[in-house]
Amino acid sequence: MAAPPSFSTTLIAWQKTAGRHGLPWQNTRDPYRIWLSEIMLQQTQVATVIPYYQRFLGSFPDVAALAAAPIEAVIAHWAGLGYYARARNLHRCAQLVVSDHGGAFPCTAEELEQLPGIGRSTAAAVAAFAFGERAAILDGNVKRVLCRQFGVEGFPGQATIHDQLWRLAESLLPEADIEAYTQGLMDLGATVCTRTRPRCEACPLSSTCIARRDDRQGELPASRPRAAVPERAASFALIVDGRRLLLERRPPSGLWGGLLVPPEGDVKDTAARLGLNLVSERTLPPLKHTFTHFRLTLNPVLCEVTKACQLNEPGLEWVELDLADKVGVPAPIAKLIRQVANARD
């Protein structure tokens, strides 16, 4: 009796017939486009990434264009995708590719991993898709597939389990068809072996899956040990001068680095500091936003001021209120700005 097909053989065959083939960053060997998509897809769903990816390419069609662009323009194109350190690393990486590598991306995962914002799994994905290198990936979707298929116990973020999964991922690499295999892992985790309600009946590996055999799809992979989520609060002065809103560019690092937000802090102190004549103020409903490591309550205060004079502090700018939620602001700030527009209608 012939041996059953291997994990990689089965996955490659499935990807070629049932996997995804029409995503905007597929069917290319261009490392720039592949790298850009991989960075955007970190912690972000495909459906969310596609329009950002297309707009980004429209403004920065190649690595030289991205490297030459001001960081403010890059951040503005990233606004709403979250995890803004990705955008800053993306820009710095492009500059290093141009300055240190003559505008050509390194062709091995080991070299790619030395660039800003490119971790081990992302480097492997770029090397596999752009250069055909036989390298293992291990993103969140892949961890879930491997934990369920092979019954790996423990939280994947734990160092020992993480190392175990890397060894497993390396051991499963096929000798050929690395592109289809890598894409197959991504496709299986994203469309079939999903976190909730996995479609086991559509899985090509269901007959060998330990989680399905033991009815443990909801238990594997193990969840992160629960910890209390820290709570923070911040007040924002939504200062309106006629039909304009005052925004301030954040420092390049830290929360919302490089993005535009309303001035943070006490309303009266802010108005006095900027020499603005405060006519009225009104507290708007608070907004809660959850980040990876904490939950922030944004307390907005709508402030009407008389026609303002020229502002002397750097980083401040007046923006038309109708456009302010589209000029490179974080998603929760965009919601606050829409509150202002509704409150004044």
Q: Which amino acid is at 118?
A: I
Rounded Cα distance, 236 and 67, in Å: 33
Q: Are residues 123 and 249 in the same domain?
A: no
Is 38 considered catalytic here? yes
Q: Encode pLDDT of 102-149 as tens digits.
A: 999 999 999 999 999 999 999 999 999 999 999 999 999 999 999 999
Q: What is the mean pLDDT of residues 75-91?
A: 95
Q: Is residue 204 part of a domain?
A: no
Judge if 30 and 179 occupy the same domain: yes
Q: Is 140 within the bounds of a domain?
A: no
pLDDT category of residue 227 using cuts at 50, 70 and 90: confident
Does residue 21 lie within any of the structural domains?
Answer: yes
Same domain, 165 and 250: no
**Does residue 211 lie in a domain region?**
no
Q: How far is CA 232 from the centre of its chain?
A: 22
194 found inside a domain: no
Using the 8-state DSSP alphabet, how is residue 215 labeled?
T
CA atoms within 13 A on the CB side of 174: 21
Average pLDDT of span 257-261: 93
The parent domain of residue 49 ranges over 7-135+155-188
Q: Into how many domains does the chain fold? A: 2
High-pLDDT (> 90) share of the chain, %: 84
Backbone angle region of 97, left / alpha / beta, with phi > 0 → left and psi within -120 to 50 → alpha? alpha
- What does R_g of the chain's alpha carbons equal in angstroms? 24
Same domain assignment for residues 71 and 171: yes
Mean of pLDDT over the chain: 94
Reply yes or no on whether the pLDDT at 155 is more than 90: yes
| Alpha-carbon separation of residue 269 from 79, 174, 264, 304 (angstroms) | 28, 63, 10, 14
pLDDT at 310 over 80: no
**Residues contacting residue 53 through CB under 8 Å, at least 6 positions apart:** 24, 25, 36, 37, 40
Compute the average pLDDT of residues 252-278: 90
pLDDT of 245 above 70: yes
C-alpha closest to that of 332 among 226, 212, 233: 233
* Residue 174 forms part of a structural domain: yes
Here the CATH number for the domain that contains residue 288 is 3.90.79.10
In a domain, 2, yes or no: no
Does the pLDDT value for residue 152 go beyond 80? yes
Question: Does residue 175 belong to any structural domain of this protein?
Answer: yes
Give the CATH number for residue 26.
1.10.340.30
